Amino acid sequence: MILATLKDVAQAAGISMMTVSRVINAPDRVKPATRELVEKAIQEVGYIQNPAARALANKRLGVIDVYIPEHIDLSNSFAMHLIAGISDVLSSYLYSFLILRSREVSHPCDGYIVMGLFKDEVDGMAEYAGSRNCPMVLFGHTPRKDIDCIDVDNVQGTYELTRHLIAQGHRRIAMLNVAEEKDYTYDRLAGYRKALREAGLPFRPGWVVSAANHEDKGFEAARALLAASGEVTALVCASDVLALGAVRAAKTLGIQVPQELSVTGFDGLGYHLLTEPKIFTARQPVYDVGCQLASLLLQRLSGEALDTVKRLVSPELIPGGSVAAPRAAVTISQKEELP
């Protein structure tokens, strides 16, 4: 394939290659008249920068390694959205990327984007990246203070959902959490508790159950919970998949959703649409997070000195038919006995 090169542009504009290069990389350092001339020439010959040559001259590789741990299921569209965001930003800066499923398979690169891992994995990756003097940005919480990290605000998500339920008049709100020892599960629980606390509602440990993030596990846990405590009018689920199971459990028990039980989910990546009524959920802004991760990494690569970034991106509530005011809307009676 023949592509126009800098040389072609330079000849077309009757000017040196270096000036053309500057028009592209540092337009301010070129006289406006010359710049226009060059820009016209670029259009004329249809010049596109050669990323490989640029990377080589910059002593870069032009590649970012994206680590998605093997235990993250690609059936889950989560990773896809993240990658879409990363891809969009990187490609606009002529970087390309590789998706790696395991730390064992290393590839030379200029920087790392790492999807949430366990603590020791984070440390291992950080050390490895550090030893190669490569910047690394992390998706998901990290125990280390010196690592850039962008995450979804999981606390905020369940907080907003629970607040919405409370605003609808619910007072007896249970939670079905994901049974994983990860920060995000603690955070989602924390958001739920925070909303209860703010509303002056008691936290009942018996109303919080956990299940592995599968529809049938959610079904079982929700059925047990609902059978044991018929009093709850709303159920905050820590994932849409669990919410699907919960809705089915309610139906099985003859409990109507949303008339007798409101159910909320979490994720908003497609699963919330797979039942009737559709799950009221909080959409994780995964695409945005992907974009931000890539942008942050590019900033680091350009050498801009900035403090370690710890950024949280808020989820967005997606209304759905699985939530309604409780049948006998309880008026605000803050006192409830603990079980």
Partner DNA sequence: AGGAAAAATGTTAGCGCTAACATGATAGAG
Partner DNA sequence: CTCTATCATGTTAGCGCTAACATTTTTCCT
Q: Supply the minimum distance, in Å, between the C-beta of residue 81 and its own copies.
A: 6
Residue 39 has which token pair?
A: 């820009």
Provide the minimum distance between the beta carbon of 299 and its own copies in the complex, in angstroms, as a whole number.
Answer: 17
15 binds DNA (CB under 7 A): yes
Residue 167 partner contact from its own copies, DNA, none using kind-dependent CB cut-offs of 5 to 8 Å: none
Considering only residues 57 to 76 of the shown chain, the ones binding DNA according to CB under 7 A are 57-59
25 binds, among DNA, its own copies, none (CB under 5 to 8 A by kind): DNA
Binding of DNA at residue 19 (CB under 7 A)?
A: yes
DSSP state of 308: P
CB 112 within 8 A of CB 125: yes
The reply on whether position 24 binds DNA by CB under 7 A is yes
| Cβ burial, residue 214 (10 Å; 0-12/13-18/19+) | middle
146 is in the binding site of which of its own copies, DNA, none (Cβ under 5 to 8 A by kind)?
none
19 contact, one of DNA, its own copies, none, CB 5-8 Å limit per kind: DNA
Cα(138)–Cα(237) distance, rounded to whole angstroms? 26
Closest listed residue to residue 257, CA positions, set 158, 166, 324, 172: 324
Tell me: does residue 299 bind DNA (CB under 7 A): no
Token digits of residue 154: 């999981």
Residue 314 in the binding site for DNA (CB under 7 A): no
Q: What does 329 interact with, of its own copies, DNA, none (CB < 5 to 8 A by kind)? A: none
SS3 content of the chain, % helix, strand, coil (to 5): 45, 15, 40
Q: Does 40 bind DNA (CB under 7 A)?
A: no
Sole window of 2-10, 146-154, 180-188, 326-334 interacting with DNA (rule: CB under 7 A): 2-10
Which 115-174 positions form the footprint of DNA (CB under 7 A)? none
- Which one of the spans 15-23, 73-81, 124-132, 136-144 is the region binding DNA (CB under 7 A)? 15-23
Is residue 151 classed as helix, strand or coil in its secondary structure?
Answer: strand
**Look-up of token digits 């592209």:** 24
The entry of DNA, its own copies, none near residue 16 (CB within 5 to 8 angstroms by kind) is DNA
Helices and strands per DSSP (H, E), number in the chain: 11, 12
Burial annotation 120-155 (CB, 10 A radius, 16+ → b, else e): eebeebbeebeeeebbbbbbbbbeeeebbbbbbbbb
Least spacing, CB of residue 3 vs its own copies, in Å:
6
Q: Which residues bind DNA (CB under 7 A)?
A: 3, 5-7, 15-19, 21-22, 24-25, 28-31, 33-34, 47, 49-50, 53-54, 56-59
